[in-house]
């Protein structure tokens, strides 16, 4: 069994913010794969289902981002899950909007949700880092994360989440590179084919 966690903040005013892209991902996994209804447990909302023959628990901590570790660690203790059975989806400032990267372990990169999970458990869990871009100045970071996505962002946001969900079995099987490639291919701009140039012939 695996625990998939989407990070975000509870409450309607945060629903469409960049900081809640993890919640958006969790909601779409549950919808697309026909999971059980969400229920309140472990200081969060939890549901379960099957993906590619794998039993999955899905968690949205309701403790606010900075205290995500409380909910995640409580869930892991109850189900006796180690960090090798934990995958966390979260927003990433250091990636351009629509870019996706996966890593296991390492630092928190300034994400307070990851920081708190690491403090309650350890750092050896898989993170799916979903790029939301970084503003020009450090002072703008909080406002950037807590602002709603613009309508123009749907050109990359919806395809990214959709492909992340559709290709989820690859991630669960440990095929991280293939998973990232699928998402990157889905988000490639539609460029017109350039006509082939015929080399000039002498004589």
Alpha carbons 161 and 183: distance in angstroms, whole number: 9
Residue 57 lies in a domain: yes
Residue 201 lies in a domain: no
Residue 198 lies in a domain: no
Alpha carbons 50 and 36: distance in angstroms, whole number: 10
Residue 105 lies in a domain: yes
Q: Which of 19, 33, 90, 120 is catalytic?
A: 19
Domain harbouring 179, CATH code: 3.40.50.1470
How far is CA 82 from each of CA 3, 10, 98, 104, 192, rounded to the nearest angstrom?
Answer: 9, 26, 30, 13, 48
Residue 191 lies in a domain: no
Residue 203 lies in a domain: no
Alpha carbons 130 and 202: distance in angstroms, whole number: 53
pLDDT of the chain, 203 residues: tens digit per residue: 999 999 999 999 999 999 999 999 999 999 999 999 999 999 999 999 999 899 999 999 999 999 999 999 999 999 999 999 999 999 998 899 999 999 999 888 778 999 999 999 999 999 999 999 887 788 888 888 999 999 999 999 999 999 999 999 999 999 999 999 999 999 987 433 444 444 444 43
pLDDT reported for residue 196: 44
pLDDT reported for residue 137: 81
pLDDT reported for residue 21: 97
- Asked about 19 being catalytic, the answer comes back as yes
The torsion of the CA quartet 16, 131, 22, 180, rounded to 10 degrees, works out to: 130
pLDDT reported for residue 92: 93
Residue 158 lies in a domain: yes
Label the pairing between strands 126-131 and 100-104: antiparallel
Domain of 27 in residue numbering reads as 2-137+144-186
pLDDT reported for residue 202: 44
Residue 148 lies in a domain: yes
Q: Give the burial string for 44-80 (b: 16+ CB within 10 Å, else e).
A: bbbbebebeeeebbbbbbbbbbebbbbbbbbbbeeee
pLDDT reported for residue 136: 75
Q: Given CA atoms 83, 2, 61, 183 in this order, what sign does their dihedral have?
A: positive
Alpha carbons 7 and 22: distance in angstroms, whole number: 5
Domain count, the chain: 1
């Amino acid at each position: 069994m695996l625990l998939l966690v989407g990070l975000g903040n509870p409450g309607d005013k945060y629903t469409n913010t960049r900081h809640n892209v993890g919640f958006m991902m969790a909601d779409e996994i549950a919808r697309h794969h026909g999971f059980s209804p969400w229920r309140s447990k472990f200081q969060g909302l939890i549901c379960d289902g099957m993906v590619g023959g794998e039993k999955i628990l899905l968690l949205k901590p309701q403790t606010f981002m900075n205290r995500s570790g409380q909910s995640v660690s409580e869930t892991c203790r109850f189900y006796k899950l180690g960090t090798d059975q934990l995958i966390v989806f979260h927003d990433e400032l250091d990636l351009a909007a629509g870019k996706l990267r996966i890593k296991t372990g390492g630092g928190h990169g300034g994400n307070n949700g990851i920081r708190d999970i690491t403090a309650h458990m350890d750092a050896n869990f898989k993170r799916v880092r979903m790029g939301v871009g970084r503003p020009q100045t450090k002072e703008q970071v909080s406002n950037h994360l807590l602002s709603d996505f613009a309508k123009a962002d749907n050109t990359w946001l919806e395809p990214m989440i959709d492909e992340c969900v559709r290709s989820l079995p690859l991630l669960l099987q440990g095929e991280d590179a293939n998973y990232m490639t699928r998402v990157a291919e889905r988000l490639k701009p539609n460029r017109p084919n350039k006509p082939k140039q015929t080399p000039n012939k002498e004589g």
